[in-house]
Amino acid sequence: MENKPEKKLDHGYTVDDIRVMEGLEAVRVRPGMYIGSTGSRGLHHMLWEIVDNAVDEAANGFATEVSVTINKDNSVTVEDNGRGIPVGIHEKMHVSGVEVVYTQLHAGGKFDNDSYGFSGGLHGVGASVVNALSKYVEVEVATAGKLYYMRFHSYRDDEGNMHSGVPVEPLKEMGRTRRQGTKVTFMPDDEVFETVEMNTEIVSKRLRELAYLNKGVLFRFTDNRIKGDNKYREYRYEGGIVDFVTYLNADKTALYAPPIYFQGARNTEKGMIVCEIAMQHNDGYTESLFSYVNNIPTTEGGTHETGFKSAFTKVMNDYCRKVGILKDKDASLSGDDFREGLTCVISLKMSSIQFEGQTKTRLGNTEARTAVESIVQDELTPILENLKNADISNTIADKAVKAAKAREAARRAKSMAREKSKLENAPLVGKLSSCTGRNPELNELFIVEGDSAGGSAKQGRDRRFQAILPLRGKPLNVEKRRIEQVLENDECRSIITALGTGIGEDFELKNLKYNKVIILSDADQDGAHIRALLLTFFYRYTKELITSGHVYMGMPPLYKVQKGNDVRYAYDDEELQRITKGLKGYTLQRYKGLGEMNPEQLWETTLNPENRSLVQVTIEDAAYVEHLVTLLMGDKVQPRKEYITEHADFNKVDTFEDKVKLN
């Protein structure tokens, strides 16, 4: 039957535009060249090629439904309600458009994408590859009220020659129909494929993915090999990739809803690029980014992802600076910080795609990076700056700030571990006068304020079990410092080295070299401040030392009462009253500091376990102490002032110690 020459098709396309290339025999000889493999992946590529042709028709706005059916005999039927493959006769080929599409490699205008628009598929090898590797292919086209039919088959002739994808007869008109669209059934050739059994889950997952990527298109899937009710599934997502991100975050806690969505298009020298992005942060820490080009998953990423990441980081840092979350002096936050907990889908539509990478799933086109960067910059900025989105924008920014802090802390901890190993190898800092005994159960470490007191303590102590570590000047206020600075401070380093336990994460109580760690400082304000600084250090970096009761404060006497050769010591005013009550003709000395006592006096009053008094440091309410340490030692001045004004009594032992429940 002579078909009339085709009228101009949409897009001004005629069947004559279909470029004709070599026959299908080549495909049979080396199928891997065309569909990757003859295993399960290659088998499913057969289906994707046909499905992508239907999806292209939908993506171009001419179809709204795509149906896939796996038949009992393992043949597969795909159908769409688009315009139908052109049935007109190709001027040069003198055969129908259907025959050209199914017998000529790279036919179907997919290679010169400009005329046919965007096409997905297995990099556009065309339906003819499916024909070459099938036992048979049946094509039905419903268009302009008529139904057309054509069958192709592959067979071996009597001489054993292979004939692939040969038309059984030209396209035939079968009568009238109200339907419109294309329906294709193909039977994968079991001489080519290791298995001809499609996998239900693989097909189902891909159809769902395509439904997300092509918003509003209905995908029906029937597997007639299944008994019972799970043989039919359908997917349609009016929200497209927004619904995709919601689905991906379904088992997580989203920080805002619905996901952020924007799209844009850019004309580049190589053609138009359309970009759609949906994104939503969850309260987790992993980043999951899913990118596609013409519905093909780009699992190895590529220039579109690079463009998104760099532009998203820039737009977010600009936002943080604009609203004051980041001050001029602050460093910018990293992309990783902004993408912590981010689920994002990028869907690009473009022509002349360059795929790279191990599995050819990385996008190489450089123009895609600049196009995505520009679209993110122009479309996301106004979304973030729109006041009605303020909480979303600030939620994202705050999470990134936290991530940056956590990252910094992790880095510090790592460098501390390195430092620790340095510490362990560091020679004992000269200051420590260690004791001769090696039994941690008995040994005591005195941390003594000032060199002169340190000198008296070294002379006055019992060197069998008493070690002396004199502190020059005040130790660091660790509350305001990073751990590296703590480790750099000589005083802190010598304490850490002397203790032997390590600090922070690496603290090991079992390595403690002393049963008692005793702080000896003057009873005046300086002494009180030093005690507070040391307790802060212990609380922040060796808290277990306190909670296991190893930390004490030595109590030097405040007064010396002497009458003749009789010497008494008073440790506070009450005691002085008791000692001097009714006493006549005595001399009274108020000790200003430890340094005023000679070694013997220091031994008698403060070091000798027989008659010294020690105050054990305990933590009754850690949370309260936590709050207090931050309050008293942190850098918020006002709250500290208020607290001290309200609570301080400078005649008593330092306020900080009182609150730490000394007993």
Using CB positions, name the residue nearest to ligand 28F. Answer: 53
Closest CB to ligand 28F among residues 130, 607? 130
Our CA angle for 607, 611, 617, nearest 5°, is 65
**Tokens 């057309």 sit at which residue?**
148
Work out how close the CB of 14 gets to ligand 28F at its nearest, in angstroms, rounded to a whole number.
8
The answer to whether the CB of 550 falls within 8 A of the CB of 501 is no
Query: What DSSP element (H or E) covers 399?
Result: helix 390-425
Closest CB to ligand 28F among residues 121, 556? 121
The answer to whether the CB of 632 falls within 8 A of the CB of 532 is yes
263 has which bridge partners? 276
Work out how close the CB of 350 gets to ligand 28F at its nearest, in angstroms, rounded to a whole number.
19
The answer to whether the CB of 573 falls within 8 A of the CB of 542 is no
Work out how close the CB of 356 gets to ligand 28F at its nearest, in angstroms, rounded to a whole number.
27
Work out how close the CB of 78 gets to ligand 28F at its nearest, in angstroms, rounded to a whole number.
4
The answer to whether the CB of 287 falls within 8 A of the CB of 339 is yes
**Tokens 């790592």 sit at which residue?**
414
Rg of the chain in Å (alpha carbons)? 41
Active site residues: 449, 522, 524, 526
Closest CB to ligand 28F among residues 141, 545? 141
Cα dihedral sign, 609-615-620-621? negative
Work out how close the CB of 136 gets to ligand 28F at its nearest, in angstroms, rounded to a whole number.
15
- In angstroms, what CA-CA distances link 86 with 141, 175, 597, 634? 8, 17, 109, 77
Closest CB to ligand 28F among residues 184, 368? 184
Task: Give the DSSP letter string of 600-639.
Answer: HHHIIIII-TTT--EEE---S-HHHHHHHHHHHHSS-HHH
Work out how close the CB of 83 gets to ligand 28F at its nearest, in angstroms, rounded to a whole number.
4
Phi and psi torsions of 554, nearest 5°: -75, 145
Work out how close the CB of 298 gets to ligand 28F at its nearest, in angstroms, rounded to a whole number.
24
The answer to whether the CB of 442 falls within 8 A of the CB of 609 is no
Closest CB to ligand 28F among residues 116, 446? 116
Closest CB to ligand 28F among residues 167, 527? 167
Closest CB to ligand 28F among residues 50, 105? 50
Residues that bind ligand 28F in the complex, under the rule CB under 6 A: 9-10, 13, 15, 18, 50, 53-54, 57, 78-80, 82-83, 85-86, 97, 101, 108-109, 116, 182, 184
Long-range contacts of 505-511 (CB under 8 A, 24+ apart): 505/413, 505/416, 505/417, 506/416, 506/417, 506/420, 507/541, 507/542, 507/543, 507/544, 507/545, 509/544, 509/545, 509/548
